[in-house]
Amino acid sequence: MKKLTAAVLAVILVLSGVLTANADPMLSLFFESGMELLYETSNVTLTGKADFFLDGERFKTAELLYIQDYDNSMFRLDLYTPRKDRPEGEDRHSGYTVIANGQDLYVTEVLFPGVYKTGTDAAQSTLLRRTVQTDVMADLLRILTEQAETLFGENAVRITVDDPGGMELKISLGRDVPDIVNTALNLFYQFAAKRYFEMDYDQISERFMAPMENYITIVQGLLWSTKQVTLRKAEITAKRDDPGRLTQVKGDLSLDLQTGRDGIRRLDISFCLDVSDVGKSHVGLFEPGKNGLRLKNGTAVPEEDTVEE
């Protein structure tokens, strides 16, 4: 349910986490606010948009609305994909909405209007599920923060304080980041790929990687063909309000993807994520009758007809 949110925030936390032990103690406040949002906030609304480019050509735009209301949640993801078989400028619209009432899930899809599917999963009251593995990844970030003063120069980070107490953080990184940062970035990328896309790189050998053109979608090609990720450039801005809550994260990321058969491919991501309505967000019970929905053959979630998403 949270692939897009997790993927973007994981990269942001890697890049911002290694900076938070700078001499300025205000930097650590942003990292702690991010961790609190992910693992300790039970009532919040997220809205966001991201554009994805491969070698300079847009291949996907994603728009999301996510509302967490304790054990209830609503996740709407709209996807727009450029298609060569359609008039110039016209995208293929797909995506889905998932409503969770405790352990009960209800799914509607753009491509299948008028019907819904059902399923079950463990009830969750925060944005990300905390596990032993995520605690290890958090420990890695904290270790990196202890070395931040020697890893980056003074111009990489700028902080401004707004009245009446809000703060804005700007991070600018380039190709000259230390190897340990790219190593950490790869560990987080592979962790996210396994958790959210069922892609286990511990089971993949470079010898058996195929060219990207062999896969049905660009996303599949990226997942199955990439063996290493390297940061080209990152321009990230984060805002924090007076109570200490993260309110917005936006920016541009550029990554070099070392593939098994296609050499280096460039992945660019432009994104904006807004955080609002903490303590005031609401998700009601799923009521299909009010929206004229019928159950789709009693099938459970997920199905292979949404493989691209």
46-55: average pLDDT: 98
DSSP assignment of 255-269, as one string?
Answer: EEEEESSS-EEEEEE
pTM of the model: 0.86
Average pLDDT score, the chain: 86
Q: Which residues pair with 60 in a beta bridge?
A: 52
The mean pLDDT value for 193-202 works out to 93
**Does residue 107 contact residue 118 with C-beta atoms inside 8 Å?**
yes
pLDDT, greater one: 26 or 128: 128
Measured CA to CA, the distance from residue 267 to residue 53 in angstroms comes to 6
- Closest by alpha carbon to 27, among 157, 144, 140? 157
What's the CA gap between 288 and 113, in Å, rounded? 12
Torsion angle (degrees, nearest 10) of CA 160, 162, 167, 170:
-40
Q: Which residue has the higher pLDDT, 133 or 152?
A: 133
Q: Position 300: which residue type? A: A
85-97: pLDDT as tens digits: 766 668 999 999 9
3-state DSSP assignment of residue 168: strand
Q: What is the widest separation between alpha-carbon atoms in the chain? A: 60
pLDDT band at 29 (very low <50, low <70, confident <90, very high): confident
Domain boundaries, the chain: 3-306
- Which strand (E) or helix (H) includes residue 124? none
